Structure 1
């Protein structure tokens, strides 16, 4: 059997062509979606008939074996090249966790079966493109997280000094020490009940200007820094889309060049046929004159 490659556009064996074909990809996608539905239904196992739960678990195990068979097929075709792809590592680990003996008895391993649904992230081309764009944006996200952490630390120190020295238990719980202040500011940053659960308690404790402090934190942290995440992700998606478009244009140009070459070959063939026909006519004409 010819050596397989991870390039899905070429196939060096019938088995490689089969596992890279559209019908095989659609089959795996359908099994992932079906498995996701089964795992969701099994969360209501206590209220379902035992027979239904039994057959659902049988189907879940059957799909797990199907995924394991898929991995074995790819290992047989690609050999050690299989592990050169990060997505293949992801599939191998997720399916391997599902195949751990006795995993059904551990709630953590049982819950991690749902990770198989995440295989849709690379099986579906559009999801794969978005996921790869997010992964490429991670280094930039790290810098933004560092800025946000530094900003939160500064405000947490200020909040602890301004509001932590109090006898009010509620405010003391919010800003009594540095970790508590950082956690409270994170809640303020998400704007989840920040007005009544955080700011109003500080105001009632004798700090009427406290809203200004928290509003500046919201404007800087939420409206400025957090929006950088959105800008970074949008930029990464745009770059990924541009790369995909350029790749598509290159494929179109290559197809056009091949078509032009084939057209030239056809024209050359027609010219040669025309010359041969003319030569044949000349020979026939000479023979007829000789007669």
Structure 2
């Protein structure tokens, strides 16, 4: 029960108006986030299946099964040692593998994740504008 006392810090959200605006913006974006998450999951799954089919035979430790491929793709998505650790060894065997990996990073890493940031910023902007309009009245 003592560990739950750390949750008292959450009272800051209700006492600091700027934090309340940010939390309202994040809560308002949940439906859009679910749509973006579904889209990300579709791309993630498609690329996972592609990687298992293309690279699974020669690189079973990274792409041998779908769960391994999804874990490796998550590592690539976060850009954690993706180039030297994964892509370059794969490209020694499959020279055109860069097309799969670069397209994955561009689609998932750049476009889809920026959609999440854009939705949150847009929601934050709408909430700020509506509060300013209410203050003007």
TM superposition score normalised by structure 2: 0.93
User: What's the Cα RMSD here?
Assistant: 1.3
Q: How many residues align?
A: 137
Which of 91, 99, 118 is matched with 1:231 structurally? 118
Q: Residues 162 and 115 (structure 1 numbering): CA distance in 2 closer, same or farther, change over 3 Å?
A: same
CA distance in 1, matches of 2:61, 2:15: 47
Shift, 1:192, TM fit: 1.6
Shift, 1:119, TM fit: 2.1
SS of residue in 1 equivalent to 2:94: coil
CA distance in 1, matches of 2:97, 2:8: 48
Shift, 1:201, TM fit: 2.7
1:130 — aligned with what?
A: 22
CA distance in 2, matches of 1:125, 1:193: 40
Shift, 1:172, TM fit: 1.3
TM superposition score normalised by structure 1: 0.45
Flag structure 1 segments of 5+ consecutive residues without an equivalent. 1-102, 105-109, 251-291
1:117 — aligned with what?
A: 9
Which of 176, 179, 188 is matched with 2:67 structurally? 179
1:1-291 superposed matches below 5 A: 103-104=1-2, 110=3, 112-166=4-58, 171-204=59-92, 206-250=93-137
CA distance in 2, matches of 1:115, 1:211: 46
Shift, 1:203, TM fit: 2.3
1:30 — aligned with what?
A: none
Question: Could you say which structure has the greater relative contact order, defined with CA pairs below 8 angstroms and 6 or more residues apart?
Answer: 2
